[in-house]
Each structure stands twice: as structure tokens, then as C-alpha cells.
Structure 1
Amino acid sequence: MAKTARSNTDTTDITDVSATEVPNGLRHKLGDAILGLVLRVPGSSEREVAQPEKRARALGRTAARKAGMMAGSLALPPGFLGWLTIVPELVGVWKLQAQMVSDIAAVYGKHATLGREQMIYCLFKHVSAQLFRDVVVRVGDRFIVKTASLGFIQSAARLLGVKVTQRIIGKSATRFVPLLGAIGVSAYAYFDTQQVAKTAIELFAKEIVLDI
């Protein structure tokens, strides 16, 4: 991988998320969960293959099914009991997605250079692309991945916690209808995981230049 001069993205670039009317406890828990997730890139038993896209798409489908089943089963408790499962549900799905990203990087032969910037980008680019506009930049057939400071990663995790919490509040009514809620949550987790897989495939299929 080509490497250029060091360039740390700082926290002042993050301006597109408002914490207004978001419950502090929930958003803090989700922010902490996101931070812990991206700071520890999981290993992979996958190996580089001759047709990585085919294998990567298969990994994405498998992970999406698992995520849908996990989220749907945790969303089954009715009423306020369903709210208690929100954090375990999301963290469980994110862990599945992080492993999937790690495995997709491996089949493209890029696991050795998989860092926290690429991980948080793959996991949450579809949630807030604006957050990562200065971290992962596409230039022609290459992606430039800039080293982000720990402060930036912490701020991004906190603001993503706000974004995810706002989405949960927006969809809260379905959680009070047990079967309908479980079906909706399952479908969303499936779709969300497919989006993560799509981002990971787009990233790792191209040349990645690490700007450190």
C-alpha cells in the first residue's frame, strides 16, 4: 500500500448531528458501544481468494440473515420490555457486522491494513456519510484513507450514538406491537447489514492509499 505524509482529521470536522431531545443514557451507551467496537478490529479466518466479490457477497448475505434473526428475536418482548433489548440488539448486530467487514477485507487481501477508520466508515457510512467526508475519500479508482485522531473517533462514535437514537425514537411505535415490531426490526437489521456489506465491498475492491 502506498503511504503519504501524516494527516490527522480532527473533531472540528463533525458538525452535522444535533443531540437535541435525545435521551442521554441511551445515546451515551450506544456511543460507548460504537467506540469499543471500532477500536478493536476483529481477526478473520477468511483468506484472500481469486474471486473476492463472489465470496464477499456470500459473507454479506450470511451476516444479514444472522443479524435479522438476532434483532427479530430480541425485539419480541412486548411493550417496555422491548425497550430493554435495544442496546443488546444493536451491539449484537454491530458485532456481526464488524466481523463481516473484517472477513470481507480478508478475502480482498486487505485485512492486514484494516484499521479503525475503515471499520467505522464501513459500519456507519450509510448512517451519516457527511461524518466521514474527510476520512475516506474516493479519488478515481482509489480510496484515500486518512489517519483520524482518537478524539475524532470518540466524537464520531458519540454523534453516531445520537443519530442511531434518533432513528430508534422515530420507529418506537412498532416496538409496542410484539409481532409487528419483531418483523420490522428484523427487516431493518437485514437491510442495514446489506448496506454495510455494500460499503465494504466498494471500499476493499479498490486500491486503498493510507494517508498516515
Structure 2
Amino acid sequence: MTTRHRQSADAPSDEAADPSPIGQAILSLIGKLPASREPRSRQPAQDARRKANGAAAKAALAAGALALPPGVVGWLTILPEMMGVWKIQKQLVADIAAIYGKQATLTPEQVVYCLFQHTAAQGVRDLVARVGERALVRKASPLLIRNIARRIGAKLAQRAAGKGMARWVPVIGAVGMGAYAYVDTAQVAATAIDLFEGVIEVEAVEVDVR
């Protein structure tokens, strides 16, 4: 009697395929955690909201400016626009973690969760498990992070198509992209505040993301 060997998380599979350009951008984004100069706050919720408002305004300005070029040229600015907004949001997550006194335990998994939980929940569903006010952050291998980036990239490709259409009406499109970036950044902040104001436990095992 023969048995089939279960494919391990690090074995080659369809999920190990190279991510899309958006997925590759996500990988480069989370390769290094940003530092923060924010001190631990005695009123973290208020200071985190203040930081979030500033970051949202900055993201709106960046997205709106990059959405101004019209037509075909505008298509070339879609990925730089997304990357610019994500970098602002990544710094925001680090700042909120510092405000809550949790920057020292910040991990790439937490950053990915905060950035994309509201737009690609299925892609990050296995990174953080919530039990009441406690959050269990599961460590993921580089391959699993790559697979998650591929999933998020596939999901966000739909949004990129909408951004491309907006390039044909540059002024209106720029206003719309700026407004979207503002709301998107506010949602990232809300996720980060919800995560860092509770108890966080980091698990030292890999998760098989399929």
C-alpha cells in the first residue's frame, strides 16, 4: 500500500509562481520595516488619529498629483502612485505601533495585515487571528509572504484597472484618486489602531497559506 506525500508549504506549487508587478511591488515594500520617531503616548488613540489625519492628507496629495498625467502616460503612473501611498501608509503603521509602545515587536506580517486587511482580506486572513481583544500574529516564511503578495496583487489589479480609466479624465480622476487615497489611509489607520490597542502575541510557527 502506498501513501501520497503531502506537499509542504515550501514545496514548489502553482502558488509559488512569480507575483504580478503589483505583487512584486508589495514584496519590495515590506522588505524593510520603517523606524519611527514617535514616542509612546499617554493618550494613544488621540495621537494615533492625529497622525492618521496627517498621513491621509499626504497620501491624498501624492495620489492626486500622480493621477494628473492624461491618457497612456497616465497609465505609467499607476504603480508609482500605489507604491507612494503604500509607503506613506507603511510609515503610518510604524508610527501608530510606536505611539502604542509596540514598535519593538512590529513584524512584516502586522504591516501587511494593516495595509491590506480592508481591501484584500482573503489574502491576509491567515496572518492575524482575533480572539476578543487579543491578536495572534502568525509568522510566515518568505515563500508564504510571497504567496500572500501574489494574492493581494491579483486582488488589487482590479483596482488598478479602475485607476487606468480615471487617467482619461485627469482633473476629475486626480480628485477621485486623492479622495480614495485619503479614505484608504484612514482605513489602514483604523486597522492599525484596532490591532495595537489590544494584546498582541507573535507565534513562532509557519502557516500553510493555500
State TM-score, norm by structure 1: 0.86
In the alignment, which residue of structure 1 is the partner of 2:4?
A: none
Query: Please, which runs of 5 or more residues in structure 2 have no aligned partner?
Result: 1-7, 205-210
Q: Does 1:94 align with 2:86?
A: yes
Among 119, 126, 130, the residue aligned to 2:122: 130
Deviation of 1:103 after TM superposition, in Å, equals 0.3
Give yes or no for contact 2:67–2:74 (8 Å, CA) kept in 1.
Answer: yes
Q: Work out which of the two has the higher radius of gyration on C-alpha atoms and give 1 or 2.
A: 2
Are residues 1:43 and 2:32 paired? no
Larger proportion of helix: 1
Q: Is the 8 A contact 2:62 2:81 kept in 1?
A: yes
RMSD: 2.2
User: Are residues 1:178 and 2:170 paired?
Assistant: yes
Displacement of 1:171 in angstroms is 4.6
Q: How many residues align?
A: 194
* C-alpha distance in 1 between matches for 2:125 and 2:166: 33
Partner of 1:121: 113
Mean Cα deviation higher: 157-166 or 100-109: 157-166
Q: Which amino acid aligns with 1:128?
A: A
**Which residues of structure 1 form unaligned runs of 5+?**
1-8, 18-23
Report whether the alignment pairs 1:194 with 2:178: no
After superposition, what is the alpha-carbon deviation per residue over 1:31-59, rounded to whole angstroms, capped at 9, x for unaligned?
Answer: 11111111211000011010111111111
Contact 2:41/2:100, CA 8 A, preserved across alignment? yes
In structure 2, distance between residues paired with 1:113 and 1:102: 10
Q: Distance in 1 between matches of 2:180 and 2:187?
A: 10
What is the percent sequence identity of the aligned residues? 50
Larger relative contact order (Cα-Cα within 8 Å, sequence gap ≥ 6): 1
Structure 2 residue identity aligned to 1:74: L
Task: Give the direction of change, closer, same or farther, for the CA distance of 1:193–1:11 in structure 2 (3 Å limit).
Answer: farther
- Aligned AA for 1:190? Y
C-alpha contact (below 8 Å) 1:10/1:148 kept by paired residues = no
Q: Give the structure-2-normalised TM-score.
A: 0.86
- What is the distance in 2 between the residues matched to 1:131 and 1:178? 31
CA contact (8 A) 1:11 1:155 kept: no
